[in-house]
Structure 1
């Protein structure tokens, strides 16, 4: 994937945070590389599934965390002191997608396997978040595996009409920039579209969804405030403690 010059880059601190994750692979109709952060706690704690975007596709088991800071926000010391949790970061290979049903089943089987291995994972507090292609993956996994996750934060994601109402079974807070041209906040501006951006999803479901939130960053806001491409809404999202506290308040 060719990245634009104003793409978000990781901080110097991110490497140290990446080093806190162990390296593993999981075999289930194919091999899935993944990284796992194991908290220093014997109490029942949540597990957070993080899905990276297309800019981190590969099989090196590194890029899903090193590409941006967003994959490591929940392993920072200040967060772990207040909210100890597992963080699971699988890597999707080039040529497939998180929205692929086999990949979805593989990821969900991995979560089930980890729950057996780490018995202090609270199965009532399994969370999911992701950006771009990972945001798409969040929506698709929630559609076809709606009974696993207590809450989700899809960032600059999109989906289609199929099984859309299944999203009402999970608490969701979406983040998107109004001027995102990589994955649009709305695909309905020119009439009917097979695609639904975050704004479209909100408009379609807000009257029937019991717990749906949507933050839309104004056009020009990400460029003016952070100097980054408007697709990179994971930057303000990762810094938003209100969103993160909301996520961790949810119980299935």
Structure 2
């Protein structure tokens, strides 16, 4: 795990539904206190399950892959891909209906700070609901939930390696490859899209900021949706507003129509009333809870653009 870099602006107090989290440092490299409002807790042993779906998983023999031997709500926990960038730990869901003959959709969800690997195996799919809510939109979809070490360039390269592995080893509909990132996972996602946007069909950026470039994204014309609270306590909405405008500017320069641009990039800044109605008190952590359950948000990701 990288050392977390702190800024000198001091401590910020954030209130969540279930607890009071103290933000020990407000720099862009400390996510500990802006956790999802679905607070993390260690897995109880009774929540784990023995993986018994070997036939459904159809894993190919590959010396780069180590398969986990425990599961949680249909996911195999702690599969490990030995990539050139280092080990990639991830949790994997293969629908029982998958037999390798019909191409399935693929979805990757990148977690915030509380879901990183050092926090505990499988904690990302316990603390965030993206992986489970996604199943409501497409029954024929393989879902991978990586647990990265941080939100930097190496983690972005590991995400690319995992995506390429899954595309190579499963029957995937290349027109239905989706990815999202929440908080620190969104920072990673922006770099993933800067590196290899052509791997994905659509990307959902939640409560985060854009750290990558823009030219490769607009050249690939991947659809990107930005969603954040208007008063997000960690990032503010300004970085997303800037990224949205930068992407729009490039499409406008190409002569794309407003309708064409709106299919390729969307900015959704949620007002305070949205979070109050959802029963949460802070917008950053609340986004991690509300956005995966919002049909207008997730429906966009898995819809046609």
TM-score (norm: length of structure 2): 0.67
Q: Report matched runs for 1:36-185 at 5 Å.
A: 36-39=92-95, 40-42=97-99, 43-59=102-118, 60-75=120-135, 78-80=136-138, 83-93=139-149, 96-97=150-151, 99-100=152-153, 102-118=154-170, 120-160=171-211, 163-168=213-218, 169-185=221-237
Larger radius of gyration: 2
- Which 4+ runs in 1 deviate beyond 6 A? 14-17
1:199 maps to 2:249: no
Q: CA deviation at 1:228?
A: 3.3
RMSD, aligned α-carbons: 2.8
Stretches of structure 2 lacking an aligned partner (at least 5 in a row):
5-11, 17-35, 49-70, 252-260
Q: Which residue of 1 aligns with 2:51?
A: none
Specify every segment of 5 or more residues in structure 1 that has no aligned partner in the other structure, as ranges.
187-196
Matched, 1:241 2:290: no
Aligned to 2:73: 19
Normalising by structure 1, we get a TM-score of 0.80
Shift of 1:53: 0.4
Give, in whole Å, the separation in 2 of the partners of 1:230 and 1:242. Answer: 18
2:38 aligned to which of 6, 9, 32? 9
State the partner residue of 1:194: none
Aligned to 2:52: none
